[in-house]
Amino acid sequence: MATGEAVLASGRSVGEGDRLGRTARRAGWTRWMPLIAGLVTTCVAISGTTASLSADEVATYGAAVARPLSGLWELVQRIDGHFLPYYLLIHVWSWLGEAEWWLRLPSALAAGVAAGFLADLGRRLAGPRAGTIAAALFAVLPSVSYHGANARPYAFAAAAAVVSAWALHRVAEAPTGSAGWKRVCWYAASVAFLGCTHLFSVLVLPAQLLAALLVLPARTFLTRIVPATAAGCVPPAVLALVGWSERHAISWIQPHGPDVLLKFPKHAAGSDLAGPPLFALALVGVVILLRRSLPWGVLAGGWLVLPPVLLLVIDALVTPAYVDRYVFVTAPALALAGGVALGSVRLAPVPFALVCVPAVLVAAILGLPAQADYRQRNGHYDDFPGALAVIRARERPGDAIVYGQSRLRTGFVYYGRDNLPKDVLLKGPGPAFEYVERSDLAEALAGYRRVWVIWRGTKQAGLTDTKIPKVAAVRAAGYRLSTAWHSAELPGLTVALFQRTRGKG
């Protein structure tokens, strides 16, 4: 009898030891998951740097790299003042290089930071499985590949949104005492960081305030969260005042109706194939989280749907402002809620990995067409190297070049450096993104038989419409069209070669 009891005790000890070993291994995996998620997402994002710089990225180069610090300060007093924190970062970053991939690397790192904090936030809200799947879904989103390889601040906005939500959860864990004050200060700093990335990223804050109101005692909410949020909003408030004075910079945005919200899943995911099913999955995850914990369900749901709705309200009541890239800040919420939904699947006979890995693979496969598009040379909707290749294939000594929009010059100088036809109109840099040019185009072209004219837009915009006045001026100076090329995307770039009519010039 004693021997049997000893055997049973020994069996229990072995079983307990196995369980403890598995628990330790899971704890080790959980501890390393944020770092793994961050590295994988950064690598996925940086793999998208094969595309040409877009016009907006060229603006980043022109503002933060091509100018000295004094020139940057002069520029932000006229336009893009709300981008000053990002431009300062890139200005310093460019001291070590200005290649395409290098200028985009900060955004890829920001996407990695977002994925890492998202993995831990998911673990806090719904367990390690949810955090792991949320990070995996985030990594395969085409929008992450696009903005993570985009020399603009939108990946930073997504990262700041995740960090601020994560910091709020830490406050909720220990809202009082000295430790609570430290966490509140970190939350205030994360809110300031959020507002310094992009003005419209603060549209995630209403969801955070609602969650804090529900999860914390009223006194704690009023004495800690409200002051912390107010303090964190000081920098973005200053930037907002600057941005309002420069709102002419977004005068190109057209007003939108409520129907634009139907495209929101595509905008958040970056794919019209992956977006709708991921959004449906995210809604399921929000419902599950609401049933588990009302405050954090409100956080995830509000983070997902409030920014596009509030942006549309601004678009209707204040100024047209709805642009798809401004709602990329919701992409982490899309992945987080999707991770919660998949992490909640419990099929006893089927291992967890056999359910969730295929689901992530399906999301990745649905996003493959968009991923491939974003990695093409014109994947960011401008193809400066392609346009330059057209010129170099037919260029002759003594050719001239004219830019339909003077700011295009920055992109061609970035890629072509000094190996470009004679820039006959350039007088010098302007105070903003445009350049100071000669107004006497016909006299500037005297003595040139061939002239390359480049504009942003379709061939029709310059050749048959009147949208590009310099094309008409070149024709009036006695030139006729020889050939024209347009990049595949819209509006794209058009390169046209004009030759002087015989007997003139």
Beta strands at 426-429 and 435-437: parallel, antiparallel or unpaired: antiparallel
**Rounded distance between C-alpha atoms, residue 467 and residue 274, angstroms:** 37
pLDDT in tens, 280-312: 999 999 999 999 999 999 999 999 999 999 999
Q: pTM of this prediction?
A: 0.92
Beta strands at 422-423 and 493-500: parallel, antiparallel or unpaired: unpaired
**In 94-176, where does DSSP find H-type helix?**
100-126, 128-140, 142-147, 154-173
Element housing 499 (H / E):
strand 493-500
Backbone angles phi, psi at 426, to 5 degrees: -65, 130
Please state, as a whole number, how many other Cβ atoms lie within 10 Å of the Cβ of residue 362.
14
Q: What is the mean pLDDT of the chain?
A: 91
Burial 367-387 (b: 16+ CB within 10 A, else e): beebbebbbebbbbbbbbbbb
Q: Which of 167, 179, 174 is nearest to 205 (CA)?
A: 167
Mean pLDDT value across residues 404-414: 96
Rg, C-alpha atoms of the chain: 27
**DSSP type of residue 150:** S
Mean pLDDT value across residues 42-56: 93
Say what the pLDDT of residue 346 is. 78
Q: Which of 159, 173, 168, 230 is nearest to 201 (CA)?
A: 159
Backbone angles phi, psi at 451, to 5 degrees: -140, 135
**What are the residues whose beta carbons fall under 8 Å from the beta carbon of 115, sequence distance 6 or more?**
34, 37, 38, 40, 41, 42, 135, 138, 139, 144
- Per-residue confidence band for 15, with pLDDT thresholds at 50, 70 and 90: low
- Order of strands across the sheet with 493-500? 422-423, 400-403, 450-456, 493-500, 479-486
pLDDT in tens, 67-114: 999 999 999 999 999 999 999 999 999 999 999 999 999 999 999 999
pLDDT at 2 over 80: no
Say what the pLDDT of residue 8 is. 47
- Angle of CA points 252, 314, 165, to nearest 5°: 115
pLDDT at 184 over 50: yes
Burial 55-75 (b: 16+ CB within 10 A, else e): bebbbbbbbbbbbeeeebeeb
- Per-residue confidence band for 33, with pLDDT thresholds at 50, 70 and 90: very high
**Rounded distance between C-alpha atoms, residue 237 and residue 82, angstroms:** 10
Is the torsion defined by CA of 187, 188, 189, 191 positive or negative? positive
**Rounded distance between C-alpha atoms, residue 214 and residue 217, angstroms:** 8
Inter-axis angle of helices 84-93 and 177-197, nearest 10? 90
**What are the residues whose beta carbons fall under 8 Å from the beta carbon of 463, sequence distance 6 or more?**
471, 481, 484, 496
The most distant pair of C-alpha atoms in the chain lies apart, rounded to whole Å, by: 119
- Find the range with the poorest average confidence among 238-252, 358-372, 387-401: 238-252
Mean pLDDT value across residues 476-495: 90
273: burial class by Cβ within 10 Å (0-12, 13-18, 19+)?
middle
Tokens of 228: 């912390």
**Rounded distance between C-alpha atoms, residue 458 and residue 464, angstroms:** 10
Name the residue type at position 76: V
The number of CA neighbours under 13 Å toward the Cβ of 93 is: 21
pLDDT at 435 over 60: yes
Say what the pLDDT of residue 348 is. 56
- Per-residue confidence band for 118, with pLDDT thresholds at 50, 70 and 90: very high
